[in-house]
Amino acid sequence: MAIMHEECFGPVAAVMRVADFNEAIDKANDSEFGLGASVFTTSLEEAMDAVERLEAGMVWVNNPLIDNDALPFGGWKTSGIGRELSRLGLDTFRRSKMVIIDHKPMRQEWWYPYPDDWFYETGGRQHS
The answer to whether position 105 is within a domain reads no
- State the pLDDT at residue 119: 74
Average pLDDT, the chain: 81
Indicate if the pLDDT at residue 37 is higher than 80: yes
The answer to whether position 124 is within a domain reads no
* Residue 127 or residue 87, greater confidence: 87
Residue 49: give its domain's CATH number: 3.40.309.10
* Residue 48 or residue 91, greater confidence: 48
The answer to whether position 36 is within a domain reads yes
The answer to whether position 97 is within a domain reads no
Buried b (16+ CB within 10 A) or exposed e, 6-17: eeeeeeeeeeee
Domains held by the chain: number? 1
Residue 53 is part of which domain span? 2-92
The answer to whether position 109 is within a domain reads no
The answer to whether position 74 is within a domain reads yes
Query: Can you name the residues that pair with 60 across neighbouring β-strands?
Result: 38
pTM of the model as a whole: 0.61
